[in-house]
Amino acid sequence: MDEQLKKDIFNAVENEPFARHLNISLVALEEGYSRVEMVYDPSQMNNIYQRAHGGAIFTLIDEAFETASQTGGRIAVALTVNVTYMAPPENGSRLTAEAKELKSSNKISNFDITVTDENNQLIAACRATAYRTGKPVTF
């Protein structure tokens, strides 16, 4: 992938308010691939049952999807995102979301995204589809 685009995507994540709010870090980025991480903080990310809020896990998934789908240099937006939650994370665990492009065409790209903890326990699995607008990625 284009090295300048790669730097621009890393910079965009560092400056994205919601990613900063949840302390999400982009740790790896290649053509059609992204890996992001965050520490599950129950004081900020629990639901009413004192378990991980699905929205916190979804946000990590979405960040991986968002960054991986931009690596072709054209703006891509989500069409569908289907998540299956497998297990709640332990307090303080480091969660990793990996997005891998499965297949793409000129307009559509499909991704598998997984969330695991530091013990490689599967927390969530996702299949997502992005629409490529044809407009260049600009930051």
CATH number, domain of 71, equals 3.10.129.10
- Residue 115's domain spans which residues? 3-136
Provide the residue type at 31 as one letter.
Answer: E
- What's the token pair of residue 21? 């709010």
Note if the pTM is more than 0.85.
Answer: yes
Residue 119 φ/ψ, nearest 5 degrees: -95, 10
What's the structural domain count of the chain? Answer: 1
The pLDDT tens digits for 54-70 are 999 999 999 999 999 99
Q: What does the alpha-carbon distance between residue 73 and residue 135 come to, in Å, rounded to a whole number?
A: 8
Which distant-in-sequence residues (6+ apart) come within 8 Å of 28 by Cβ?
34, 35
Task: Give percent of the chain with pLDDT exceeding 70.
Answer: 100
pLDDT tens digits along 33-53:
999 999 999 999 999 999 999
93 close to 45: Cβ distance less than 8 angstroms: no
Name the one residue in this structure whose structure tokens are 């569908």.
80
139 pLDDT tier (thresholds 50, 70, 90):
confident
Rounded Cα distance between 46 and 55, Å, is: 10
3-state secondary structure of 43: helix
Residues in a beta bridge with 74? 136
Instruction: Please name the residues in contact with 111: beta carbons below 8 A apart, sequence gap of 6 or more.
Output: 65, 68, 69, 99, 100, 101, 102, 126, 127, 128, 129, 130
